[in-house]
Amino acid sequence: MKILTPMRVLSSLSALGAILLGALVVGLTAGPSGLGVGEIFSVLGDRDAVGPAADIVLRVRLPRVLLGALVGACLAVSGVLFQAMLRNPLADPYVLGVSGGAALGGILVLSLGSAVGLGYEAVPPAAFAGCLLTTAILYAIAGANARASTTSLLLTGVVFNAFASAAIVFLASMAGLTESASIFLWLIGSLSSIRVEVSGWVAAFLVLGLGSTIPLARSLNLSALGGESAEQLGVDIDRQRRIVLIASSLMVGAAVSVAGLIGFVGLMIPHLLRLIFGPDHRLLIPASALGGAAFLVICDAIARTILDGRELPVGAITALAGGPLFLWLLRRYHQRVLS
Amino acid sequence: MTNAALCFEGIELKFGEREILKGVSLEVPEGAVVALAGRNGAGKTTLLRVASRVLRPSAGRVSIRGAPIDGFSRRHLAKELAVVPQDTPVSFPFRVIEVVLMGRSPHLGVLGFESRADIALARDVMARVGIEEFADRSILDLSGGERQLVLIARALTQEPRILLLDEPTAHLDLAHRVAVLDLVRDFARDGRSALVISHDLSLSARASDHLALLAEGRVLDCGRPADVLNPENLLAAFGIRADVIQAPDGSPLVVPRSAAADAMS
Amino acid sequence: MKFRGSAVPPPAPHRLQRSPWRSGVGRNINCPMNRSTRRLLEIALLAACWAGVSAGSDPAVSSAPATRNLRVVSMNPSLTRMLIALDAQHVLVGVDEYSADHEPAVAALPRVGGLFNPSLEAVVALEPDLVVVVPSVQQRDFRTRLRELGVEVIELASVTLDQILESMQTLGDRIGRSEAARERVAAIQSTWIDVAREASLRPRRSAVLVLQRDPLYLVGGGSYLSAMLDAAGLDNAAVEYSEAYPRVSLEWLIAAGPQLIIDSSDDPVPAIEHWSRWTSIPAVAEGRVVAVPQGLVTLPGPYLDRSLRTMVAAIRSVDQDSGASQGAESH
């Protein structure tokens, strides 16, 4: 492995981009309807296409695949950022409780919304509101004392998650059968209820997140040596922490609001890419976006086709793939993480 | 106010109710190596942190060549001053060359990639420190002593004018201790300066131009090592009795007496 | 065979409503009794009246011998409805949450929990003779515990049509309403035959019955609702799924291309509006999307004949609308 140069960044990202493109093709061609690849491409090329193939490819699969890519990217990038911020390669985007807040907001509406006339459309905004509230609280804690706050942040996250879990269990046990099904799907993570309108928001937050944190990539490298060393090398640690916290929380919030708690993407993709490309964040952050996108699109394609015609939630697939992969990574990293 | 390379004036610092530094005044002249010694908890590391602006004193001022550091931008300060910390836990498997190159950070732009010149400089420093063979190894795989050398190399790559070292020889064997202190002496030529915290009094005495003893949050004494290292100062600073004898080249050797032996005599 | 309508026999009239004692106590001025004796008689008669009235309101007195003092707890709304339809709601001493919330006849009864959280304590406190449940994994331990405590538990399935009819008969036999149950079952069966015969005169069409839009749940081959579609002259496109309520992908539905969509999800967005996006589905293109209220069609219970009629009416209404528009186009 050589030193990171712009050339290497470009070539690595191109390779990942090609993989993502392949994943998108797989996503568009996978499905229970038995459409041929040729048919799919002809539909893609024809703007005025009508008929079942057009409906399926352009109006069911295409938005779902694109949104899957955006959600996967958001989760993976926020995973990298949380790992950098907490200086722990085992952190995942849900550890600080932002996802708990979002889940609580979403499930509140899912279970009680019909009583006040709120339909499913209100779930993503409610979830995002939950995420914002949690982020605000975390920000207040993190901003207070930058030096001691990693532990405070983690503890806050533990408390949030515990509280959210308890509240969700309570709501779920009161819910009727139809709400229970929706709640379960939301908790495990699913891309099946994606409304096309929200994809703009997710894309906006992803761009915002990448745009604000890629310039911090080098200083995030320095943070690996500890906050104090980074500061002594010229990094404004407080500002970096605040920006990273907000950017990654918003990305997690956007992803979780539309797709529920899809697990393992935020933990594993950064890991895998770190093993392959090294820990330099200047490459790792954009690479995670591409890798996370590709991974989730493929998992979703599997979720849609593995049981003929019926659908598994994508969160089940990421966990099935992620579990063993995570154990393997843990074994490889075990001695290193503890030194 | 002087034009010393690094100057501490009346530094006071409290952690909550505890007063750590109670008015420290110290000068590090250009071209000099100043050793800083004292008991654990006397405030040595704290003083270094005040110099690198990681901690803010409740009173007093730090200045570099007459200019107070409060007015410096972070990058500017990082170009002037580099710190070799006692130890740093590293969480990600960066390779040694990458860690050393981190020292170039204050000189690079926002998204700046390291240039060929930067890389050459880093390799040169690594060669001088003696860790060139580690270049491609993960820093997580190194021993404590090897890591310390990497941190020294990183600080030197920063090309500062002032080097602050916090016990740089703590995990090093004798050969490496000598090598590092020679490196520091080398560094201090051409108008640069170094402030070294060390517990190895005898070795520091030999390697430094001045020695300051920190006790009770104040500078007990500062001056030539041979003058400062005497039994009265050592008793006041460390609370132990010690003999100071002279080495053949005139530098002082501190030989502490054990409490038991002391009681018997 | 003509459909006779509800054949539940009316309850036997209370004997004491025609009691001679109530009308003329102490008013016969020709009675030779003296004042104090009359007083005594009044009091005795009043006491007897009270006893009679309270005896008259005792359900055990007027009902068939098998239901006398029977105490039943129902853990499922379909079973509660069965009992109400068999005019046996008076045997109920406790019901589940859903029944209490949705059936006015039992709203005042003590509640004993629901599908996921049945309360063993609440049930046992009511000292029931019989607990009727729908077989479910969630309540397995609950059933076992009840049996261990010596309570009779009968599991009555209500997923397929045959199960529902059999359950109704079993329940009726057990509580002494066999005749009423037989009549209800016969009514359903005859309606089924009627409707099927009418439908055989028309061309068959493919259809889906949507229970929930998001996630998409349809009626599969394993449910009585699929039999209902079949009787109404429709081929359930999701019959290939053997379970009762499969979750399918929207893609599958589009590819299956049913000619009729029956949407029974309770969603504020109207069915026609919701499905209008997918113009490639024949049902949408031909305007054959019909909404039915969720409870009307989808709660398995004793009035499947009415549900079937409702569904058929809904289907015919759509036929008329689309037939009219097609007729208009052809002019």
Residue-wise DSSP of C55-87: HHT-HHHHS-GGGTT--EEE-SHHHHHHHHHTT
Does the pLDDT at position B162 exceed 90?
yes
Measured in whole angstroms, how far is the alpha carbon of residue B241 from the centre of its chain?
Answer: 26
Number of alpha carbons in the 13 Å side-chain half-sphere of residue B95 = 19
E strand or H helix at B10 = strand B6-15
Residue B204 near residue B37 (C-beta atoms within 8 A) = yes
Residue C191 in any domain: the answer is: no
Output the six-digit token pair for A100.
């708990």
pLDDT mean over B187-196: 90
Set of chain A residues whose Cβ sits within 8 Å of the Cβ of B53: 231
- What b-and-e string marks burial along C35-74, b requiring 16 or more CB atoms within 10 Å of the CB? eeeeeeeeeebeeebeebeeebeeeeebbeeebeebebbb
Min distance A315 CA to chain C CA atoms (Å): 15
Q: What is the pLDDT of residue C328?
A: 43
Pick the residue with more confidence: B175 or B260? Answer: B175
Residue C188 in any domain: the answer is: no
Interchain pair B92, A89: CB under 8 A: yes
Question: Mean of the per-residue pLDDT values for chain A?
Answer: 85
The domain tally of chain A equals 1
Output the six-digit token pair for A287.
């690479």
pLDDT mean over B59-88: 91
Q: Are residues C211 and C325 in the same domain?
A: yes
Q: What is the pLDDT of residue C35?
A: 58
Residue listed under structure tokens 């106590």: C25
The reply to whether A235 touches chain B by the CB within 8 Å rule is yes
Pick the residue with more confidence: A33 or C79? Answer: C79
The reply to whether B158 touches chain A by the CB within 8 Å rule is yes
Q: Which residue type occupies B244? A: V
Does the pLDDT at position B98 exceed 50?
yes
- 3-state DSSP call for residue A142? helix
- 3-state DSSP call for residue C248? strand
Output the six-digit token pair for B122.
């880093």
The reply to whether B25 touches chain A by the CB within 8 Å rule is no
Residue A246 in any domain: the answer is: yes
* Enclosing domain of residue C250: 203-330
Residue C196 in any domain: the answer is: no
Residue B83 near residue B53 (C-beta atoms within 8 A) = no
Min distance B90 CA to chain A CA atoms (Å): 5
Q: Are residues C223 and C308 in the same domain?
A: yes
Does the pLDDT at position A329 exceed 80?
no
Q: Are residues C213 and C267 in the same domain?
A: yes
Output the six-digit token pair for A306.
């593995």
Q: What is the pLDDT of residue C327?
A: 42
Q: Minimum mean pLDDT among A88-92, A287-291, C196-200: which range?
A: A88-92
Query: pLDDT 10s digit of each residue in chain C, 331 long?
Result: 333 333 334 444 444 333 343 333 334 444 444 555 565 555 555 544 444 444 444 444 334 445 567 899 999 888 999 999 988 888 999 999 888 888 888 889 999 888 777 888 889 889 899 999 988 888 888 899 889 888 899 999 888 888 999 999 999 999 888 999 999 999 999 999 999 999 998 889 999 999 888 778 899 998 889 999 999 999 999 999 888 888 888 888 998 999 999 999 877 788 888 899 888 899 999 989 999 888 776 677 788 888 888 889 888 888 776 654 444 444 3
Q: Are residues C56 and C150 in the same domain?
A: no
Residue C122 near residue C142 (C-beta atoms within 8 A) = no
Strand B242-246 with C152-155, pairing: unpaired
Interchain pair B111, A278: CB under 8 A: no
Residue among A33, A50, A304 minimizing CB distance to C279? A50
Q: What is the pLDDT of residue B265?
A: 53
Q: What is the pLDDT of residue A283?
A: 95
Residue C199 near residue C207 (C-beta atoms within 8 A) = no
Residue C72 in any domain: the answer is: yes
Output the six-digit token pair for A108.
């509140």
Domain's final residue, options C147, C181, C215: C181
Set of chain C residues whose Cβ sits within 8 Å of the Cβ of A169: none
Output the six-digit token pair for A295.
């991974």
The domain tally of chain C equals 3
Residue C241 near residue A308 (C-beta atoms within 8 A) = no
Distance (Å, whole) CA A150 – CA A140: 13
For C5, left (φ over 0), alpha (ψ -120 to 50), or beta? Answer: left
Domains along the sequence of chain B with CATH:
6-88+161-264 (3.40.50.300)
Cis geometry, peptide bond prior to residue C215 (ω within 30 degrees of 0): yes
Residue C231 near residue C192 (C-beta atoms within 8 A) = yes
Residue A1 in any domain: the answer is: no
- 3-state DSSP call for residue B253? strand
Q: Are residues C143 and C55 in the same domain?
A: no
Does the pLDDT at position A179 exceed 90?
no
Q: Which residue type occupies A43? A: V
Q: Are residues C45 and C70 in the same domain?
A: no
Set of chain A residues whose Cβ sits within 8 Å of the Cβ of C279: 50, 55
* Enclosing domain of residue A33: 6-337
Give first-to-last CA distance, chain C, whole Å.
Answer: 41
Q: Are residues C276 and C321 in the same domain?
A: yes
CATH number of the domain enclosing A201: 1.10.3470.10
pLDDT mean over A263-268: 89
φ/ψ of C205, rounded to 5, equals -130, 155
Q: What is the pLDDT of residue C321?
A: 67
Residue C278 in any domain: the answer is: yes
Q: Are residues C248 and C297 in the same domain?
A: yes
- 3-state DSSP call for residue B62? strand
Distance (Å, whole) CA A26 – CA A31: 9
Q: Which residue type occupies A112? A: L
DSSP code per residue over A244-313: HHHHHHHHHHHHHHHH----SHHHHHHHHHHHHH-S-HHHHHHHHHHHHHHHHHHHHHHHHHSSTTB---
Set of chain A residues whose Cβ sits within 8 Å of the Cβ of C269: 119
Residue C305 in any domain: the answer is: yes
